[in-house]
Amino acid sequence: MDLDLVTREFAPETVYLNTASMGLPPARTVAALAGAMAGQAAGRADVVAYDGPVNEARRAFARVAGVAERQVAIGATTAEHVGVVAAALPEGAEVLVAAGEFTSVTAPFQHRPGLRVRVAPLERLAEAVTDGTALVAVSVVQSADGRIVDLGAVREATRRVGARLLLDATQAAGWLPLAPYAAAADYLVCGAYKWLLAPRGVAFLVVAEDAMPGLRPIAPGWYAGEDPWADCYDRVVLAESARRFDHGPAWLPFIGAVTSLALIEELTPELIGAHDRALAARCREGLRALGHRPVEADSAIVSVSGLGDVAAKLAADGIKVSARAGGLRIAFHLYNTEAEVDRLLGYMPPATRSTAPVA
């Protein structure tokens, strides 16, 4: 990975180990947003021209995911995209989700009347699939602790019974190569403001070609039209591609998304992921040496249960992490270094007897 490029693009004032909450925008993205805001304030903005960065971002995400551009819809949040899938399920359909799953994945199903939502541990998700399962919905990487879904097992199980598979790549895209997941999924959703380093307000939905006819847009607006600017009065003719599921974009965040995605593509998720995972492995090793038991996962996210209260103490020392589900969550990305891992470990308390590994 080009560390000189990373140094030019990022200069955080803290030890920022919290990308699982929100990524840091690179300098190029900050400049692009500042320029766009200045242009808008000066009255130079051209709203039709904003389509350029929206569709550039769509194409860039398609390349990152290894799919065709026509399979990608844009919006602001993952939950709105999951809602499209939830609305298309028949009355009485069973949706299987992982225990502890992030609610952007689960809530659209839980609050759509007429569906049955069943929960199983992530490690046993594949074996929990039955003939009555219509859809499995799960994050590629779990938000709370960084565990990674067993894609092969889950995909095999869904195919065996004819169930659809929805994957949320929000905690994976940017450090974990997406192509195998996008190829296996019927639907893949992704919020771009974490590991893809885009501003909040950019999200993507990938729909497999054979799954597209089974979906219908929810409250389609003018941007879901085949030609939005020529067809925005009286009646919208919906796009033939996944663009029919587009929601009207927040233009400025997409201007930032273009430059952030360009950096991810330049550095490549493969090299970024190798960097991130190496730092996470160093962190887990150091935590074990202190007597802690981090969650076992070859992930850019490190989690230690029961230590959530340490997050506030670390913040006071200039180290930004997060507390999730009662645990301490530490997230490593391209702008982090071994020195920052070691600084974090230097502030970590040794394990108490109740949390020390069992001999």
Residue extents of the structural domains in the chain: 3-24+268-347, 29-266
Q: Say if residue 336 is exposed, middle or buried (CB neighbours under 10 Å; 0-12, 13-18, 19+).
A: buried
Lowest mean pLDDT among 148-152, 308-312, 333-337: 308-312
**Nearest in space to 84 (alpha carbons), one of 144, 166, 142:** 166
CA angle 264, 265, 271 (to 5 degrees): 70
Residue 231's pLDDT band, with cuts at 50, 70 and 90, is confident
The answer to whether the beta carbons of residues 245 and 73 sit under 8 Å apart is: yes
Residue 200's pLDDT band, with cuts at 50, 70 and 90, is very high
Q: What's the mean pLDDT in 22-34?
A: 98
Residue 353's pLDDT band, with cuts at 50, 70 and 90, is low
**Relative orientation angle of helices 251-267 and 51-65, to the nearest 10 degrees:** 40
Residue 62 has pLDDT above 60, yes or no: yes
**Relative orientation angle of helices 269-289 and 338-347, to the nearest 10 degrees:** 30
The pLDDT value recorded for residue 230 is 86
The pLDDT value recorded for residue 132 is 97
Residue 45's pLDDT band, with cuts at 50, 70 and 90, is very high
Does the domain made of 29-266 have the CATH classification 3.40.640.10? yes
Q: What's the mean pLDDT in 202-206?
A: 98
- Cα 191 from Cα 54, distance rounded (Å): 15
Residue 19 has pLDDT above 60, yes or no: yes
**Nearest in space to 217 (alpha carbons), one of 237, 203, 231:** 237
Q: What is the pTM of this model?
A: 0.95
Q: What's the mean pLDDT in 222-226?
A: 93
Alpha helices in 111-241 (DSSP H): 125-128, 151-161, 179-184
Of the candidate CATH numbers 3.20.20.70, 3.90.1150.10, 3.80.30.20, 3.20.20.140, the domain formed by 3-24+268-347 belongs to 3.90.1150.10
Residue 130 has pLDDT above 80, yes or no: yes
- Cα 187 from Cα 242, distance rounded (Å): 11
The answer to whether the beta carbons of residues 17 and 311 sit under 8 Å apart is: no
The pLDDT value recorded for residue 358 is 36
The pLDDT value recorded for residue 31 is 98
Coil, strand or helix at 357 = coil
Residue 161's pLDDT band, with cuts at 50, 70 and 90, is very high
**Token reading at 62:** 């398609």
Encode pLDDT of 185-198 as tens digits: 999 999 999 999 99
The pLDDT value recorded for residue 99 is 98
Q: What's the mean pLDDT in 101-121?
A: 97
Q: Say if residue 87 is exposed, middle or buried (CB neighbours under 10 Å; 0-12, 13-18, 19+).
A: middle
Residue 357 has pLDDT above 70, yes or no: no
Residue 3's pLDDT band, with cuts at 50, 70 and 90, is confident
Q: What's the mean pLDDT in 29-53?
A: 96
Lowest mean pLDDT among 279-283, 305-309, 340-344: 305-309
